[in-house]
């Protein structure tokens, strides 16, 4: 019998009639842990349907695409960095990141300054306008999601709150945060 078999006997308990002689205890089924693959598929599907609500309407904030928003968020979180470091953090190709940085710079959401450690390179930094845009976009996304959360039952909201620490652990990716090919 396995731990997942509901007929598995629980811990032996002493038989009161015979001191020291164990007798089988009550049958206590062990709940099976959900399979990681099943959980991953359900989570992926759920996020796929939630992401459009978080992103908002196209064109709502000019040329701010999800990848450009991710770039602004990386700069807000980690501070100034080289384009190559941003590409590594976002897991996108350097030429793609360079084009994106050009567009963000033209929109006034970032600025470039010479890297004090290597004058041939430049650092990109979030501007006040970029920081304000990111704050507004995040606030709007949270408001859209809050509207959906308000439709959940109290018990569903409690379960969602209980699941957040695990989801936050999934979202924390130290391997990317530690990656910095230039420094």
> Using the 8-state DSSP alphabet, how is residue 120 labeled?
E
pLDDT digits 0-9 by tens, 56-89: 766 577 778 889 999 999 999 999 999 999 999 9
The model's pTM: 0.68
Determine the Cα–Cα distance for residues 51 and 125; give it in Å rounded to an integer.
27
Please determine, for residue 120, whether its predicted confidence score (pLDDT) is greater than 70: yes
Number of H helices and E strands in the chain, helices first, is: 7, 4
């Amino acid at each position: 019998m396995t731990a997942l078999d509901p007929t598995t006997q629980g811990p032996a308990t002493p038989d009161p009639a015979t001191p020291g002689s164990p007798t089988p205890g009550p049958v206590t089924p062990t709940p099976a842990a959900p399979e990681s693959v099943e959980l991953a598929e359900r989570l992926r599907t759920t996020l796929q349907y939630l992401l459009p609500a978080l992103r908002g309407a196209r064109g709502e904030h000019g040329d701010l695409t999800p990848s450009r928003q991710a770039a602004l968020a990386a700069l807000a979180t980690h501070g100034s960095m080289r384009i190559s470091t941003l590409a590594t953090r976002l897991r996108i190709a350097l030429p793609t990141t360079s084009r994106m940085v050009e567009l963000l710079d033209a929109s006034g959401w970032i600025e470039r300054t010479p890297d004090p450690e290597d004058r041939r390179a430049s650092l990109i930094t979030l501007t006040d306008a970029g920081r304000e845009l990111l704050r507004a976009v995040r606030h709007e996304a949270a408001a859209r999601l809050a509207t959906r959360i308000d439709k959940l039952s109290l018990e569903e909201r409690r379960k969602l709150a209980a699941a957040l620490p695990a989801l936050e652990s999934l979202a924390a990716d130290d391997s990317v945060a530690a990656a910095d090919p230039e420094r």
